[in-house]
Each structure stands twice: as C-alpha cells, then as structure tokens.
Structure 1
Amino acid sequence: MKLSKPPSLLIFVQLLCIGLLTSISGQAQKHIDSTDFYGKILLHPDESFDVEAAFSYFEKQVEMDLRKNDTINAVKKLRYMVIGQIEMGALYESEETAATALRLLDKMPTDSLVKAHKKGIYNDLGMVYRTLKNPTNAFLFYDEALQICEGASDSLIVINNKGNQYLDIEKHELAQLQFTKAYELSKQISDSLNQARALSNLGFAQSKSQHPDALDNLLLGLGIRLRNNHLAGIYSSYSHLSNYYHNRGQAKEAEDYAEKAYNIAHQINSPSYIKNSLSNLLKIKNDSIAQEYITLNDSIKLAKLQKRNKYAGMQYNLSKEKLKTEENRLLQEKEKRKKQGFQFLGILLFTGILAIYFVQRAQNRKNTIKEIFRTEARISKRVHDEVANDIYHLMTKTQLNVLEPDALLDDLEEIYSKTRDISRETNALTLQDDFGAQLSDLLQSYQKEGTVITIQNISQINWKGVSNTKKTTIYRVLQELMTNMNKHSKASQVLISFQKTRGSLQIKYVDNGIGSVLKNRNGLENTENRIKAIKGRIIFDTAPSKGFKVTLTI
C-alpha cells in the first residue's frame, strides 16, 4: 500500500509549535537561572556591581509579578531583597522591604504558603533588630514567627536565632533553654544537620557559664558536621571551639582551631568567612597592635552602621510620616465627599418627598373635586328620579282632581320621606360619643312593616379604639347597604353582626332577599371604594333567589 505524504502546511505548523514551545521553555529556564544566579549574589554579596545588578533584577521582577497579580512570586523576590539588604547592612531598607511584603501577604487568604512566607519575614526582621542591637524588637518578631510555625522543622531556625539573641545580651541560661529545645525538636524529625547546629550552639552557650558538658556538645556537633561534610557548619564549630579554648587560656588549642576555621573559609571561598577567621586569628595571637586595629575598626564599623541606619531610619520614619499624612488627607477627603454625598442624597430625598407631597395633594384635590362632581350628579339624579318625578306626578293628579285630601297627604308624606333620606345620606356625618348607639339607630331606621332588622354584638365592640375615619366609613357603607336593601332586595329578614377577630373588626350583613347576579352590584362600587380607601376588605356573596351577603373586614 502506498502511503500518502503529509501536507507541507501541516509540517510547517508542527515545526512552528515545537519552536514556540522550545522558545517558551528556554525563556522560562532563563528566568529561573537568572533568579537563582542573582539570588546567590544577594545571599553572599561580594562585588558592589553584581549586588546592584541583582537588586535591579529583583525590583523589575517584583513589578512584573505584581502587574500579573502573581503576589506569591513577588513576595519571594522581596524576601531575596530583604536578605540581601541585611547582608549589605541596609537594615532600615530591609525593614521597609519586609513591610511591603507583609502588606501584600495581608491581602491574600491565609493558607500554609502565606504562613510560611510570613514566618520567614518575621524571622528576617528579628535578624535585622538583632544586628541593630534592639533585642526587644528582635524577640517580638521571633515570637511572631513562632506563633505561625507549623511543626518542628518550621520552628528550628527561629528557635536557634532566638537563642543567639539571648547570647548577645549575655542571658546564657535562657540561651541554653532555646538550644536544648532546638536539639530535642531536631531529634524528633531526625535532622542531623539541625542537631549539629543545636549541639554546637548549646555547647557554646554552656561554655559562657563554665558548664561541664560544653566541650562534649561542641565536639558532638563538629562530628556530625564532619560526617556530612557540611563546610559552613564545620567552620562554625571550629570558631566555637577556638573561642572555647581561648576563654580558658589554652592558646595552642585555640590557635589550632582558628587556623582550621581559616582553612575551611578558603575552601568555602567566602570573603566574609575569611575576614572573620583572620580577625579571630589575630585576637588569639595576641598581637597588641593588630588587636587595637581590630577593636578600632569594629568600633568604627559599628558607629558607621548605627549612624547610617539612624539616618536611614529617620528617612524611613519621615517617609512613613508623609505616607500617614497623605493617608489622613485622603481619608479626610473621602469623609468630605461622603458627607457631601449624604447631603446631596438628603436634599434629593427631601425634594422627592416634597414633590410626592405636592403631587399627592394635587391628586387628592383632584379626587375630591371628582368625588364632589360624582356626589352632586348622584344627588341630582336621585332628586330627579325619586323626588321630581313624584312631585310632577302629584301635580298631574292635582290638576286632574283625581286625589282625595287623605291620598294627597300620603303622597306628600312619601315625597318628604324620600327627601329626608337623601338629605340624611349626603349630609356631613357628626360622630357621637356613643357611636354604637348612633350606628344602631341608623340600622333600626330601615325597619318597616314586613322587614325585621336584627343587630348582634354591636355593644361588645370598643368603638373608642376605632379611628373616626373608620367609623365614618363603617357608617356610610352600612347606610349604602341598607339603602340598597330597602330599594332592591325585598328582604323580610336582615341580620347585621359585629365581631372582633385577631386585631380586626369583622362586620357581616345577611338578608333573605331576592339576591342578584354578582357582577351586577346595583351601584355598590362606591361601597367597595370606601373600604379599599381604609385598607379594608369587602366580600360579596349573592345569587338570584339566594339572598345577599356581605363580609367587611376592617
């Protein structure tokens, strides 16, 4: 079978992808190599040019990481800068850099990685204040670091550093407690190098108080370091042993270990180690001129460092003060804008309420005028339909002389009754103190021959607890229901009952009249409107030949 050749475009795309991946991989590896390279320079600074280049590299990397919202990597670079600044003696600058890193971490959710970085930064700040001869702050930050340490391995470095701080202030017993604790923790996790560090530090602290186990612990620590070929640790052990013998006047042993430390320093190829070992050798050889030079040089260096850091501290404090002032100014500006915003909202709200008030008042006035027109039209219609027609009919009978005097009087009495009813229904209502009696009189006034009105529980209602608006509404609604009954229902029995239920007043009207179709309420729309106006409910229940029922809830 003949195989087909892959299209040339496909081959080109494959080669392009491989090239891009190789390029990206190469750039990533270059970035990692650069970070490692410049990181080593900051951890062991020798040439100022390289140090300057390292700081420049990390500053740019921090900016790039922050632009990408990669806070953790930005913090990692800032920690390199903190350690580099400590090594260079720029202690206040390192404090400021550490504070920047902590502020970034404070904005992140707390997890094990964030805790680890915070612990490292607190430990670095402890070292800063130890170098500045400020043990109070050093202990403060060491303790902060210990509070967030998780597990033994996390705590060992901080505990050792805390022990060294106690040594600096000559509290040898407290130092021994810290180093003993570090040794016990290192045994728990089988960490031989940390065991060696703790033993060497413990032996050195014990030597300051003439403890009998001092030399044994120093030699045990050295043995572990020699077996692991840990050059930096071996250098530290030799320095401790040299100091141990020098303090006891054993010059030969002290010089031997000092020379061993010097040789190890050359193997490490660290200028700072070589310088320190040379200084130690000169002290042990007891050259008075060299000793005077070393003492004077150390004093000058310390004075310069303190002066430089004092000036840097003043600059740092001034910067913090300026920042604080600016923050206060921004806060005041924010509060001012907030206050102005509230004032604007208040004015807007007041204007809105005022507008609603005037619109509502105008609407109410309009509704009142409409109601007046409707009332006038209704009265006019009733006067025309019920009174004027009867009068005209009576006049016709009178002209034709078909009425007896008694019949004439009866017709006039009927016209008067209709006129009185219209007047009573439309006049302004004056509420009496005993509203129950007033309402009962109204209902009883509709009783006539052939119609029995029954009123239940009206005297059990506390009418003083009912507002005048609701009383007026109840009066007019019942009046309209009774008038409707009188005109249309042909009822012989009417029952009106009153009951107080769950904070509401319930009134039920029932008659045994002819009823009606529910959608045709015989002009009772006004009754519904009155009830709705006081946020009440009205339910009609009627059907032809089934009577008429109304339930009012107010």
Structure 2
Amino acid sequence: MKKAPALLKILVSVLLLLVLPTSCKKEKHAVLKKTDNTAEVKRLTIIADSCFENSDYKNAFNTYTRIISLSDTVKDRIDYVDALISLAYIYQYQGDYIQSEETVIKILPHLKYMKKPRFAWNAYFIQGFNYFKTDNLESALVYFRKALNLNTSAFRKWGILNSIGIVYMKQKKYNAAAYMFEKITTEGYHAQKFKTNSCDRFELMDYAVMLNNLGICYQNLKNPKAIDFYNKSLKIRLKINDRDNISSSYAALSEYYLKTNPALANKYAKLGYEKASEVNFYVDKNYCLSFLVQTATGNELKKYTNIYIHFTDSINKARLKNKNQFSDIKYNFKKDIEENLELKSQKAEHELEMQRQKNRSNISYVVIFISAFILLFLFFHITLKGKKEKDDAIFKSELRISQKLHNELANDVFKLSTRIQNSNLEEPKTKEELLNHLDQIYLKTRKISKENSIIPFNENYEIGLKEMISEYSHSDLHIIVNGLNTVSWSKIERIKKITVFRSLQEIFDTMKKHSDASLASLTFKINDKNLQIIYIDNNTKVQNSSINLKNRLKSVENRLKTLKGFLQVSDSENQGFKVFINLPL
C-alpha cells in the first residue's frame, strides 16, 4: 500500500507533460468564452413572473423569451425550464395550442434532471390541456394520468383528478365523470379542508367549481340531485364574493330551469349576464345571452337578440385582432433572436472548429491514459487491501482459538499429565478415570472446533442449529426449544443466520459459566417482519445482576446493533434470567 503515493507522482508528471503543450498552444488561438448570464437571468425571471401573475402576458412573453435566449440550459436549467413552462401557459391562454405543445416538447428532455416533481407536473398538465382543447381526448387522459402518478402534493393530485373528470364530461361519460367528482367533493383535498372550515379563499373557489361540475354531470344523467350541487356551489361563491365565477353558477341554474321553469331560467340568466359583464367574462356572457334569447318575450326578446348579435360580432373581431397582435410579437422577437444568433455563430464558428480539431486528439489520449491508470491502481489497491484484511482476520481467528484452547484445555492437559506420571495405569479404576478425563478433553476440543467451524447456510442450517443447541443440554440442564420449525430459514439472509447462530452460542456459553439453571427454554417466532428469540432459565445463582450479565453479552448486543436489532436482559427473583433478541428481517 505504500506504493500508491509513488504511482500518483508518476501520474501527475505524465499529465503535466501532456497538458502543458496543449496549454501553450491555446495561447496562440483565441477561444470565445461563453458569457455568464446567470445574474441577469435571475433578475429577468423576477420581472417576468410578476408580469405573469398580473396577467400582463405581452410583457411576460417578451421577458420569458429573453430569459430563454440568455440562459445556459445546464447552469440556469431551473429558470430556463420555468420560462418555457410559463410561455407554454401563455400560448395556451391565447388559444395557440399547437405552439404551446411545441414549447412543452422542449421541456421534456430536462425533466430527468429536475428533482422537484412540479416541473413534470406542469409539463404534463399543459400537454393534457392542449390535447383536451384540440379534442384529442385520449391523449389528454394519457398526460393527465402521467401527472397523477407523480409524487406531488395532495392539492395537485386532486386537481388532476378534476381535469380527468372534465375530460370524461366532454366524452359524455357522465357516469364516470360523476363518480370522479363525487370522490373529489367528498374525499378530496378541498373537501377535507372544507369540512374542517380551513379552506382559504382560492381553495373555496376551486371547491365550488368541482361542486358545479358534479351538478352538470347529474343534470345530464337526469339526476334531481343536480340542483343541490348547483345551489351549494352558488352559496360558496356568494359567501366569498367570487366575482369571476358567480356568473357560471347562474348560467348553470338558468340552463337547469330552461325547459321546466322559463321565468326562473330568465331570472338566473339576467343575474349571470350582469355578473359576467362586470368582469367581462366572454363565455358566461355568451351562455347567459343565449338563455335570455330563449326565455325572453316581447320587447325584452328584441333587446337581448340585438345585444347577442352585436356581442358575438365584436368578440370575433377582438379575438382576431388579439391573435394577430400576438403573432406579430412572436414573429418580431423570434426574428431578432435568429439574426443575433446567426451573427455570433458566424464569428465564432471558424475559430472554435480549428481549436476543437487540435485539442480533440490530445484530450482523447489523456482520457484513455487516466482511465487505464485509475483501473490499474484500483485493481492493485483492492487486491492488496483484501489480502491484508483476510490475513488480519485469519490471524485474529487463530489467536482467539489459541487463547480459548489455552484457557479451557491447558489446565486439564496438565492435570492429566501429572496424574499419568503419579498413577498406576495397570489398575482398572485408574485406567477408567483416565479414559473419562480424556473423553472430557476430547468433548471440549470438539466443542471449540464446532464453535469455529463453518456454519451450514443451505437446507441443513436448521439441523446445524439444533445440534449446536443440543450440545449444551446435559443431565443437569434440560433445554426446551419451541418454534424453531416455524421460521423459514431459507428466506433469511446469510449474515443474519450467522448472527443468530453465534449469538445463541455466546448466550449458552455465558449461562454455562455463570448459571446453575437446571431448565431452560428457547422460543423462536416471527412478529411483524421481525425474528424474535426468547431465552428463559431458572437460574438462582446470581440474582439482581442483569446489568452484569448484559455486559458479558456485549458482543452479542454489538452483533445485533449492526443489523438494527437489539438485546434485552432481565432477571426476576426466583425466576432466573430472561434474554430477549429482536432482529429485523
């Protein structure tokens, strides 16, 4: 291992020899350095977001487009993707769903680098809505379900379920849509907050939309409960003065009573038209005017018919004008960017290409050399380290076995040797005693051998464990084993089997030395994916010393801790020791 620094010195020297000529050449060729625009991107993002939140989409569009042109797609990835998401929303608001989709496609390659799921959620939601608005309903469901499967907030998840319900409504699958909105309005994020009176104003606005959607589903299914949900939605909107959406409730109620109670339908249509006019909400104004035309009579019919015709004409002209203005903004800004990029690329292209050609071969040689050297270095390092660790483990194992042989057998062998020298081996009684003594030494040696032998990990593990336990049972100690057969040992990891085997060996060794128990029980059971082992004996030799016993079993406790298990030791007067082992599987 001491050769590593020398190898590193050689590597540094070779790298310097390879890199220095390349560095000298670079001084002769000017290389265009990319400007760091991160600070400017951050500043523009604050401005663009403010414009977006205030519905100033014209200035927001220009600023977001500027951010995209300045951003480094790696260094400024978050601001870059945020700008693309906002542009996709702006295109969507303007009804340009094709351009919105093209913008989302630019976002998708970056999603794998984004830690927060909100970026993917927005991309999938925008794409789903684009498909919804272009009547590609199956594709819309695909992207809404992608958004649903993301690990996002409950608010976003229930919002996506609401979108899926709206798709079902457009597909005229009113049963499926009703089921979705029933779940949302009874179990969803907004419903739970509504029950506890903890909704803020915006959450109440969303909840009212969901109730209204459920009413529309019930109305199409001829379910009389529709009116209940229309009224619940209206009640919430009136309570919070939801000026943007009250007209939707009145429009829904007007349509509900259109055939059964024209007078009431007319009343709600007037209220809806009035509220929609206050906020200039085109959709509800259009609905309510159409209902007024159907329910009005006499002079009112003429009045509302003229208003309806004038309104639809002016709206069509305004939409065409806005669309043309928006197209001009996109075209002019795109043209400026393309001209600037073309000039920059023409200026730098020739110099960069020549420099790349000269550096490419040198870089390739350096990369290959470094890779080969690192692989060689790692190979020798890992090999030497493994060999050293193996030698250390063998040495420690041999030292431990040697100490155990000395502690447990040296005295017995010495006594036997002395007795052989001082006894008459011809006497049968002496010969029998010597043979018994030899047999005891053999059994101790065999036990030490067993303790350090290889533990079987195949189907014979259970048999080996039983044999190990039975070796501690003798005429003065009876061991009862329960539940050993109920454990699926073949499914337990190898390291955990070793821990169980060695831990039980140490527990029995400790009890043999420090206990006078005549009866012991060992219980195995699986409880909530944990292997639990309970040892109990009737020891009376040492009372009130569970702390001392736990210290003797410290090595067992350490073994278990490495596998997130634990050991508990307790004693009770006249009831012996109890050891509890818990090992997660």
* TM band (smaller chain): 0.3 to 0.5
Structure 1 length as normaliser, TM-score? 0.45
Higher relative contact order (CA 8 A, sep 6+): 2
